[in-house]
């Protein structure tokens, strides 16, 4: 693995590491131009001796990591600065799933935000729900448009009498929070009752209209 890291204060680090079976085998000290083994294995000792004898290769690698890598990194950052610093506000929606007869799973789907760091909390009656087994979340995942998304979950008891809301905090919101309340669905019995009421009203209006029409004749 090789590359360079450039920091906001202008400093940078360079590295070149070789590994085997998940373990560091040998590294290149860019400042000294020397290879140093990171393992007691005989193969690491042999590679260290061989690589340090290739002085031309080591000098070229020093040049690449000290100058070429950093210069290219600065150019990439300059060209992509607008994209790297863009701010896209998140969108959020809250809905419920019923994984069992005695529990309810509230889901807060947050998507379309950039950059990646985001904080999503649940509020119960206006107070933040502390960490616990009833809370869960997916990792922050990329979208096809280079924004991000995640799902946050809160397990609650149905009809517990509390109000719930999902709070999203993101740099694009300028210090404010996006608050999305959960609105429980009406029970199906209420929907059926309203359907019957509407049918009765339509029937009454139809009968009244028919009576009025007959009297007019």
The CATH code of the domain that includes 126 is 2.60.40.10
Q: Are residues 43 and 8 in the same domain?
A: yes
Gap between the Cα atoms of 9 and 67, Å rounded: 17
Q: Which stretches of the chain score pLDDT less than 50? A: none
Domain boundary among 84, 118, 148: 84
Query: Residue 179's pLDDT is what?
Result: 98
Nearest to 182 by CA among 169, 168, 163, 167: 163
What kind and span of H or E run contains 23?
A: strand 23-29
Query: Residue 162's pLDDT is what?
Result: 94
The reported pTM is 0.56
Q: Are residues 126 and 206 in the same domain?
A: no
Contacts of 11 (CB under 8 A, 6+ apart): none
Segments forming the whole domain that contains residue 205: 186-217
Question: Based on the structure, what is the number of domains in the chain?
Answer: 3
Burial of 30 (0-12, 13-18, 19+ CB in 10 A): buried
Gap between the Cα atoms of 143 and 209, Å rounded: 57
Query: Residue 122's pLDDT is what?
Result: 98
Query: Residue 116's pLDDT is what?
Result: 95
Gap between the Cα atoms of 71 and 6, Å rounded: 10
DSSP state of 8: T
Query: Residue 2's pLDDT is what?
Result: 82
State the maximum Cα–Cα separation within the chain, in Å, rounded to a whole number. 116
């Amino acid at each position: 693995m090789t590359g360079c890291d450039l920091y906001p204060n202008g400093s940078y680090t360079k590295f070149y590491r070789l590994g085997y079976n998940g373990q560091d085998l040998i590294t290149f000290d860019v400042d000294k131009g020397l290879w140093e083994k990171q393992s007691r294995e005989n193969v690491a000792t042999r590679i260290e001796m061989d690589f340090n004898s290739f002085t031309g290769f080591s000098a070229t690698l020093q040049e690449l990591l000290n100058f070429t890598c950093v210069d290219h990194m600065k150019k990439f950052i300059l060209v992509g600065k607008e994209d790297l610093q863009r701010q896209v506000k998140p969108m959020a929606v809250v809905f419920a799933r019923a994984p069992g007869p005695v529990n309810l799973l509230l889901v807060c789907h947050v998507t379309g935000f950039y950059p990646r760091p985001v904080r999503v909390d649940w509020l119960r009656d206006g107070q933040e729900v502390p960490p616990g087994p009833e809370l869960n979340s997916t990792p922050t995942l990329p979208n096809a448009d280079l924004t991000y998304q995640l799902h946050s979950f809160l397990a609650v008891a149905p009809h517990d009498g509390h109000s719930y809301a999902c709070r999203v905090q993101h740099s694009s919101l300028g210090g404010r929070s996006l608050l999305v309340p959960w609105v429980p669905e009406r029970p199906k019995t209420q929907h059926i009752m309203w359907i019957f009421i509407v049918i009765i009203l339509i029937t009454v209006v139809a009968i009244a209209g028919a009576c009025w029409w007959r009297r007019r004749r």
